[in-house]
């Protein structure tokens, strides 16, 4: 494995782009070979009624990514292992706390709506899928890609670039039948989330705050979908879709990311040094 880690250490930017390209091909090649497909049933919104197949897919790609990171010798440089910054974790707590409360409230709604519906299995599936998505996407974009970009450009621009690519990563949903407008909103929201996750990753010196926040975000979204399905009369209603007002969220996330990054920059300037290790 040493030749791989040596190449990764000498050419982090190129290797990071190669890893990203590998997983882009992983997700897009089946669509190219199979041709146009609509998994939404004509609704324009991807319904995740059965989470089993998604859990299997995310489990495979998350495992593949972790193995690849280990082979490249990047467990520390991607923030998956090694020391982290307690001050950064405290900053992350201001976001993790409210997100945890939001998920708890959504689960409370599920219990209230599904009093006659077995909830243990779907809730376990939601937790599993949310964690796997968070681990894979944060490991790839805030771990591998952000590390590679920081070897070429400033930390701030590396956060921006990795976030834009993270947003564009979701364009694949349009090729499986998701409404174009909904996909654009998803790309914008994902970019905003990426900015915040990237800033927190740099602040904490670890990718784990971003993994936790990402999992909470997905857990809330999946729980909200399930709550809608359990609500009375949902069979006769179309699932709610975000409108243009949803674009306010990416703007708020970008502002939060800027504040977090400025705090990190000032800390580093005051200390007169760089972080203990580059993320």
Domain residue spans in the chain?
2-271
Mean pLDDT of 69-79: 96
Q: Which of 57-66, 141-150, 181-190 has the lowest mean pLDDT?
A: 181-190
Q: Which of 20-29, 78-87, 167-176, 236-245 has the lowest mean pLDDT?
A: 236-245
Lookup: tokens for 144: 């591998």
Mean pLDDT of 161-176: 92
Question: Do residues 15 and 7 lie in contact, with contact meaning Cβ atoms separated by under 8 Å?
Answer: yes
Confidence of residue 224 (pLDDT cuts 50, 70, 90): confident
pLDDT in tens, 76-132: 999 999 889 999 999 999 999 999 999 999 888 877 876 666 778 888 999 999 999
State residue 164's pLDDT score.
98
Q: Which of 18-22, 130-134, 175-179 has the lowest mean pLDDT?
A: 175-179
pTM value > 0.85:
yes
pLDDT, mean over the chain: 87
């Amino acid at each position: 494995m040493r030749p791989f880690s040596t190449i990764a250490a000498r050419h982090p930017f190129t290797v990071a782009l190669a890893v990203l390209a590998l997983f882009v091909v992983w997700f897009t090649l089946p669509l190219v070979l199979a041709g146009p497909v609509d998994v939404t049933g004509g609704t324009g919104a991807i319904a995740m009624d059965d989470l089993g197949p998604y859990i299997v897919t995310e489990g495979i790609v998350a495992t593949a990514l972790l193995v690849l990171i280990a082979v490249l010798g990047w467990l520390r440089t991607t923030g998956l292992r090694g020391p982290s910054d307690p001050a950064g974790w405290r900053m992350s707590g201001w976001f993790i706390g409210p997100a945890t409360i939001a998920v708890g409230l959504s689960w409370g709604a599920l219990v209230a709506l599904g009093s006659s519906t077995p909830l243990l299995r779907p809730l376990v599936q939601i937790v599993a899928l949310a964690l796997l998505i968070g681990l894979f996407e944060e490991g790839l974009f805030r771990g591998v890609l952000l590390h590679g970009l920081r070897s070429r450009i400033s930390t701030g621009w590396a956060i921006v670039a990795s976030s834009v690519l993270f947003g564009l990563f979701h364009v694949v949903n349009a090729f499986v039948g998701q409404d174009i407008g909904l996909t654009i909103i998803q790309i914008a929201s994902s970019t905003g989330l990426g900015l915040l996750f990237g800033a927190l990753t740099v602040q904490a010196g670890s990718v784990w705050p971003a993994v936790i926040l990402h999992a909470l975000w997905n857990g809330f979204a999946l729980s909200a979908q399930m709550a809608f399905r359990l609500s009375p009369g949902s069979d006769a209603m179309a699932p709610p879709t975000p409108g243009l007002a949803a674009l306010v969220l990416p703007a708020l996330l970008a502002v939060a990311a800027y504040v977090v990054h400025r705090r990190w920059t000032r800390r580093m300037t005051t200390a007169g040094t760089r972080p203990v290790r580059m993320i």
